A = this chain, B = another copy of it.
Amino acid sequence: MHDSVNLAEKLALFDEHWSPRTVAEFNGHDVMVVKVKGEFNWHSHADTDDFFLVLEGQIDIELRDRTVTLNPGEMFIVPKGAEHRPVARQEAHLLLIEPTGTPNTGDPETAAKRQCV
């Protein structure tokens, strides 16, 4: 995994939504790209902040008290413990960073399996 990573090339390798692909490892974290569309589930991560950067499209990150809208080149850190729900009205492409092993849904039972590309 010690090569340069072209994020658009990695995103072109798959079509599934809400199925992050790990493209690099960094200080115990997975750096991931993901395609999203529609509404995800409300969830939180007790032990980790959640890094979102929009590469293409637009997402709303709904929090319990407000909604943060992100366009390309915009990022947001969901603080650990904060309930949130990502919503994409059209397909959007994101860069995510989370500690390796973090369940994307907040629940290991329903989480996407770790996949590298």
Chain A interfacial positions (CB closer than 8 Å to B):
1-8, 23-27, 29, 31, 48-49, 51, 53, 55, 68-71, 73-77, 79, 95, 97, 99
Contact = CB atoms under 8 A, between A and B. Distances in A.
A76 B29 contact: no
Interface centre among A23, A25, A27, A71 (most CB of B within 10 A): A27
A29 B99 CA distance: 12
Given A27-B99, A99-B27, A4 B49 contact: no
15 contacts: A1-B77, A2-B79, A4-B68, A4-B69, A4-B75, A6-B73, A8-B73, A24-B75, A24-B76, A26-B49, A27-B29, A27-B99, A53-B95, A55-B73, A97-B97
A74 to B, nearest CB: 5
